[in-house]
């Protein structure tokens, strides 16, 4: 049996993608074969699709770290044909063919049942980006109760950032959205941002080892100089959830914010999180954290993925891009 997939090939040191028909492998040894209805585009997918071997080692390859669909065939005692399921992260879309194909075949340990209260489109509007946002917000709600100051969210128009803004707003937090896109003010206001701060303006302020506290907590999706500047601005015992590095992998800081104010810098990795934790987050999204994400999603198809991948690599993505395999 053949299936259609967005397929990335390395040709003479260059990488090119096209939609191709591939052979479908049957599941064995506790693997599950899933007919994918939707996937989503994450920054990691764009890196894989553009030939970044720090993400994907071997080409040709099918990217896509997120997928939702229906079990087509199972060699697992946990899942049966017809089950509606979700797969996000782990090695899928990195070195295991991913959700940009109409079928995936993955270990049962990567799979969770889809909550009945979430449609496949809603699930992939959330995806890994949403799980990362939820894990970040959970750190803040579990560790900090101060709400006198706003919570700062960097990269606020991206997938993780926009869902972070929406979740924090839903939970009653005042949110300051940090962005490099001056044209996104209406978008950010509509999804719940109370204040909007331009990135260049933010970075132009002098760096100090300790600033007066400006924010109760923060979610940083970009790293680098932005994260460095955040840390001295957090209120005593506040939390900074760190979950991205598009602006740089190094930070410049001192111990002062940690030993004089007792702030916490928490790393967030939803891709490799235990499956039980992912299931917990999906249940929250289906219940008390349910969001109307219709205003931040853009639907695309395999034939149009190249355009969206170039946009996210240039920092131009706003909200979430969802890939549909349905006709």
Q: What is the pLDDT of residues 249-286, one digit of tens each?
A: 999 999 999 999 999 999 999 999 999 999 999 999 99
pLDDT digit string (tens) for 41-98? Answer: 999 999 999 999 888 999 999 999 999 999 999 999 999 999 999 999 999 999 999 9
Q: What angle do CA 262, 264, 268 make, to 5 degrees?
A: 180
pLDDT at 140: 94
Residue 102 has pLDDT above 90, yes or no: yes
- Give the C-alpha separation, 193 to 157, whole Å: 11
Instruction: Return the exposure string of 289-299: e unless at least 16 CB atoms fall within 10 Å of the residue's CB, then b.
Output: bebebeebbee
Widest distance between CA atoms in the chain: 63
pLDDT digit string (tens) for 54-68? Answer: 889 999 999 999 999
Mean residue pLDDT across the chain:
94
H helix runs in 30-88, sequence order: 43-49
Structure token pair of residue 26: 């049957």
Domains detected in the chain: 2-114+293-324 (3.90.180.10), 128-267 (3.40.50.720)
pLDDT at 25: 85
First-residue to last-residue Cα distance in the chain: 19
Q: Average pLDDT of 110-133?
A: 97
Structure token pair of residue 2: 């053949």
Structure token pair of residue 302: 């395999």
pTM: predicted TM-score of the whole model, two decimal places: 0.94
């Amino acid at each position: 049996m053949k299936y259609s997939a967005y397929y990335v090939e390395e040709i003479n040191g260059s990488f090119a993608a096209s939609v191709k028909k591939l052979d479908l492998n049957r599941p064995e040894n506790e693997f599950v074969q899933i007919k994918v209805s939707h996937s989503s585009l994450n920054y990691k997918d764009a890196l894989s699709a553009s030939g970044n071997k720090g993400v994907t080692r071997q080409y040709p390859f099918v990217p896509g770290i997120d997928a939702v669909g229906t079990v087509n065939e199972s060699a697992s005692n946990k899942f049966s044909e017809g089950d509606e399921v979700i797969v996000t992260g782990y090695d899928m879309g990195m070195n295991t063919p991913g959700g940009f194909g109409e079928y995936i075949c993955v270990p049962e340990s990567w799979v969770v049942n889809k909550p009945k209260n979430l449609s496949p489109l809603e699930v992939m509007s959330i995806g890994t980006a949403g799980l990362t946002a939820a894990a970040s917000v959970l750190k803040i709600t579990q560790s900090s109760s101060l709400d006198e100051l706003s919570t700062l969210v960097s990269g606020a128009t991206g997938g993780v950032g926009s869902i972070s803004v929406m979740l924090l707003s839903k939970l009653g937090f005042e949110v300051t959205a940090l962005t490099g896109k001056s044209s996104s003010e209406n978008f950010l206001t509509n999804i719940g941002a109370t204040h909007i701060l331009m990135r260049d303006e933010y970075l132009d302020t002098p760096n100090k080892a300790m600033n007066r506290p400006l924010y109760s907590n923060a979610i940083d999706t970009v790293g680098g100089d932005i994260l460095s500047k955040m840390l001295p601005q957090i209120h005593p015992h506040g939390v900074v959830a760190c979950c991205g590095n598009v602006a740089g992998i190094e930070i410049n800081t001192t111990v002062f914010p940690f030993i004089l104010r007792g702030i916490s810098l928490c790393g967030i990795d939803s891709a490799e999180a235990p499956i039980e934790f992912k299931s917990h987050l999906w249940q929250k999204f289906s219940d008390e954290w349910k969001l109307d994400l219709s205003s931040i999603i853009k639907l695309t198809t395999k034939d149009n993925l190249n355009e969206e991948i170039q946009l996210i690599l240039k920092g131009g993505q706003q909200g979430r891009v969802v890939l549909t395999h349905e006709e």
